[in-house]
Amino acid sequence: MTKNTALLAQLAALVVVIVLIALVPGYFEIFTVMQLTLFASMAVLALSLAFIWGFGGILSFGQTAFFGLGAYAYAVAAINFQDSTPAIACAILVPALFAVALGYFTFYGRISDVYFGVITLTVTLILFNVANSTSGQEYHIGDAQLGGFNGMPAVPTFNAPFDPSTPLYPEQGWYVTAGALVAVYILLRVLLAGRFGRIVVAVKENETRASLLGYDPRLIKLVAFTIGGAIAGLAGALYVNWGAFISPNAFSLSLSAEIIIWVTVGGLGTLIGPVIGAVLIEYIVSSIGSQQVVNANLVLGAVLLFFVLLLRRGLVPSLQLVVVELWHRARRAPRPKAEPSAAATPAGSK
Amino acid sequence: MNETIPLIRTENLTMRFGGVVANDNITFSLREMELRCLIGPNGAGKSTFFKSLTGQQIPTSGSISFRGQPIAGKLPHQIARMGIGIKTQVPNVFNGLSVREHFWLAARRKSMPKELIRTVDEILDLTRLGDVADRIVGTLSHGQRQWVEIGTVLAAKPELILLDEPAAGMTDEETFRTADIIRDINRTRAIVVVEHDMAFIRQIAKTVTVFHQGRVLMEDTVDAVLADQRVRDIYLGKKVAA
Ligand SMILES: Nc1ncnc2c1ncn2[C@@H]1O[C@H](COP(=O)(O)OP(=O)(O)OP(=O)(O)O)[C@@H](O)[C@H]1O
Ligand SMILES: [Mg+2]
């Protein structure tokens, strides 16, 4: 009964979100639509870490490794194929395969959590440096010049599926990006509600117990990590589509840190929290970026400090606590219908 | 099943931690459907022995076989899948999952989808956790969590059940019930129980193995063991007299 109402409420929320997404291009100027498109692609990136860290217990300091790989894979494939359809597939597959390789060595090699963090960080740095040092003419994959620190300009943006002659307008780009965000969110929700989701959370909660029940924690983590890599890669493709441009900054450590901040601020252990965190913080950063009074990194640092010190659980879980508390209080309170009649009798007798 | 092949057998099993010899040349064997109690003072090596049997640590030397198949060197999840379940001494539960999810996760490996819900309900009944079935285990009392872990082990329907101090922290009534449940399960499954509570041991035991300083001191019927002077000495007569 309560489960069904919860499900209905969620479906209703989903419909509202879809309607809002559909309304955005009609209500906002193209500049705002573009900015929202960027935020949506960042939110997809946030979901990748929200999943592996919040539900898989895997803290990757280098989620941008997959984001950057996805972005570069998209750019290279889009330039070579002159069609975004296979390029998007590459943007998902390449980082996923890379995650399989990296995850295999770390999880099956029984690397501790601390070293796992160090390794993901290092791998990101290496990729950043590799991408940075590809400026010469000789660094090309097919027709795609990698461009070193200058990056790759004029990357073809999304076109209609398998139809390169029909490029998407920015409004359509918004629909695709926001749609991808909703799709990834739903996919993760379904995954987490099912068998695999419970096993992933079980491994996060207690690896020893999970293995004593016959679950291989290494394999479970590897699968979760790979899903996270694939999602981050998709975010990379969405990002390139937004700017038609990619540079080694996609691998930057500051972006890696920002993803962790989104998740922390929005709420570790939820999916919607990090989405909200990403949009909110990117909005704040971009607002600050357009003036020179305060430094954006300073504000980011202050926001993170506030949440770590005062609102540890993050926005969404804290809000949930408040709502649950209010609901319990409301239930414990006497029923409003019974009260007036009970009160009316003594009042009338006086 | 071949009667001559023991369910589990260890030969010269030794586990060293630096200079400490926690298990010293232990040769142990258990028949199918046998119920065995393992006793011994603190530090005798009982938990260490269980850890080797379940793959939580790799023994320094010696061999372990489960129905004739060697298991030393296998990983915990591989051994678990062969049919060995353990309730560890230090509670191991999933604090963020509900009671029902625990039993579900444990049962789904062996139960067909149709049976699964029934198995979970049966274990909820058996452990008397029906009222808190959907509560998050991290919010339950220590005693309840103890039952969650026992239930989780049972839900997996292992062929061999290892229980490391299952009654620790339980009330007398609960301890009594645990003994009852153990005897009941023993009708179809083999069990090894580590306990310090002698009343509990008397209630369930047929054969008792005594560990002392990493070695098997003796192995005999419960009466013979409890009457033995050496056993009385290592326990300082306190608990045996009780
Ligand atoms: N991981 C370890 N590292 C070092 N020493 C260990 C380790 N595990 C156990 N020991 C030592 O091995 C010996 C046996 O310990 P074990 O836990 O097996 O005893 P036990 O019989 O289960 O005792 P208790 O009744 O207190 O649970 C002890 O001296 C203990 O300190
Ligand atoms: Mg012990």
Sign of the Cα pseudo-torsion (A195, A57, A122, A249, in order): positive
Residue A130 lies in a domain: yes
Q: Is the CB of B42 under 6 A from ligand 1?
A: yes
Question: Per-residue pLDDT for A56 more than 50?
Answer: yes
pLDDT computed for residue B152 by the predictor: 96
Contact B77 A206 (CB under 8 A): no
A206 vs B contacts (CB less than 8 Å)? 92-95
Question: Per-residue pLDDT for A45 more than 50?
Answer: yes
Domain positions in chain B: 1-83+160-179+190-242, 90-157
Question: Per-residue pLDDT for B98 more than 60?
Answer: yes
* pLDDT, tens only, A156-174: 999 888 888 888 888 899 9
End-to-end CA distance of chain A: 44
Q: Which residues contact A312 (CB under 8 A, 6 or more apart)?
A: none
Residue B212: strand pairing partners: B215
Residue A341 lies in a domain: no
Residue A274 lies in a domain: no
Ligand nearest, relative to CA of residue B197? 1
Residue A141: strand pairing partners: A144
pTM score, whole prediction: 0.90
Which residue, among B81, B89, B6, has the nearest Cα to B48 in the 3D structure?
A: B89
Q: What percent of chain A has pLDDT over 90?
A: 60
Q: Which residue in chain A has the smallest CA separation from B83?
A: A214
Q: Closest Cα to atom 5, ligand 1: which residue?
A: B17
For residue A300, give both structure tokens: 């980011």
The answer to whether residue B54 neighbours chain A at the CB level (below 8 Å) is yes
Residue A277 lies in a domain: no
For residue B157, give both structure tokens: 């329907």
What are the DSSP calls for B56-89, one per residue?
Answer: SS--SEEEEEETTEE-TT--HHHHHHHTEEEE-S
Dist. CA B178–CA B154, nearest whole Å: 12
What are the DSSP calls for A15-29, one per residue?
Answer: HHHHHHHHHHHHHS-
The stretch A62-86 carries a mean pLDDT of: 94
pLDDT computed for residue A343 by the predictor: 36
Residue A264 lies in a domain: no
For residue A255, give both structure tokens: 């972006």
Q: Is the CB of B40 under 6 A from ligand 1?
A: yes
- Host domain of residue A64: 28-252
Phi–psi pair at B208, nearest 5 degrees: -125, 135
Domain total in chain A: 1
For residue B172, give both structure tokens: 């007398």
Phi–psi pair at B155, nearest 5 degrees: -60, -30
CATH superfamily of B1-83+160-179+190-242: P-loop containing nucleotide triphosphate hydrolases (3.40.50.300)
- In a mutational test of the pocket of ligand 1, which residue from B13, B26, B47 has the highest number of ligand atoms less than 8 Å from its CB? B47
C-beta separation of B48 from B15 below 8 A: yes
Residue A272 lies in a domain: no
Preferred mutation among B97, B119, B149 to probe A, highest tally of A CBs within 10 A: B97
Helix (H/G/I), strand (E/B), else coil: A62: coil
* pLDDT, tens only, A304-317: 888 878 777 888 88
Contact A206 B85 (CB under 8 A): no
Residue A275 lies in a domain: no
Residue A112 lies in a domain: yes
Ligand 1 atom nearest to B46, measured from its CA: 21
Q: Indicate the pLDDT class of residue A342, thresholds 50, 70 and 90.
A: very low
The answer to whether residue B62 neighbours chain A at the CB level (below 8 Å) is no
Contact A213 B95 (CB under 8 A): no
